[in-house]
Amino acid sequence: MEFEPVAPVRAYERVVEQVEQAVFSGRLKAGERLPSERELMTQFGVSRSTVREALRVLQAGGMIRSKPGDPRGPEILPASPVNLHKSMHRLARAETMSLTELLQFRMLLEGSAYLLAARLRTDEQLAELETAMAAMTVAAEAGYEEFSRADIAFHEIIARATQNTLIVVCGEVVRGIVLDLIEDKLSHADDRRALMSAWLAHHREVFDAVRVRDGELAQRLARRAIFDHYSDYVPVRDRPLLFPLLGTAE
């Protein structure tokens, strides 16, 4: 028999656990209210400071929001990706997670998104993609800011077509982090116009693949595009980690 080391469980942690359990089990849904702090201290049998520490933890975790003077009590918030973004950003900044890993994951996700979108898209979504393409083309003349926004809009349509929330959210988060990490390098490059037109050409190719519902091709093209666009920023010795996702290199 093996024994586990025990860490003392703080009072506020038990409060947090109970509230989290209530939310996860569905007994408390988004939009509903928690009792007031004074009510909670009687229900849990702890002091107000303890209740408040628990509420701060829950708030930092994105579970609740509380306003001063609101007699309805703290509000249960719907699940949101902001905390996923924060924790991922922290790992990236601490260099615990390399740009290589982020790009690998982005290639993986975005490629799969295109694979699914090509098969599952509706004709209406294809039309949306076409207008988004046109918008990107004109935005490329307007400048990097505009172009970037149009690019994001395009990706959002793709993500929606997959009908998978996790793909949508993780894709957004990872794309955002990658941009945060190398946006300055990118926007200061003197060959921005060349980059934009290359990016645009890639989109055109992948759009055609989605149009004819060739998922495998769309996936390969998307991954290749990310690789071509960003691999300059990953250390040479790390690049082999990305090759398996290109589907061609041996």
Residues near its own copies (CB under 8 A): 12, 24, 26, 29, 49, 52-53, 56-57, 59-63, 78-81, 83-84, 86-88, 90-97, 101-102, 104-105, 108-109, 112, 115-116, 118-120, 163-167, 169-170, 174, 215-216, 241, 243-245, 247
Could you tell which of its own copies, DNA, none binds residue 103, using a CB distance below 5 to 8 A set by kind? Answer: none
Between 70 and 145, CB nearer to DNA: 70
- Name the minimum Å distance from CB 11 to its own copies: 12
Helix, strand, coil share (%) of the chain residues, nearest 5: 70, 0, 25
Exposure of 78 by Cβ count < 10 A (0-12 exposed, 13-18 middle, 19+ buried)?
exposed
The piece of 34-42, 167-175, 196-204, 223-231 that touches DNA (CB under 7 A) is 34-42
Quote the Cα angle for 38-44-47, to 5°: 55
- Name the minimum Å distance from CB 50 to DNA: 3
d(CA 82, CA 14): 25
Residue 104: both structure tokens together:
């690998």
- Name the minimum Å distance from CB 51 to DNA: 8
| Residue 53 binds DNA, judged by CB under 7 A | yes
d(CA 157, CA 80): 19
Q: Which of 180, 201, 183, 176 is nearest to 144 (CA)?
A: 183
Binding site for DNA (CB under 7 A): 8, 10-12, 36-39, 41, 45-50, 52-53, 55, 66-74
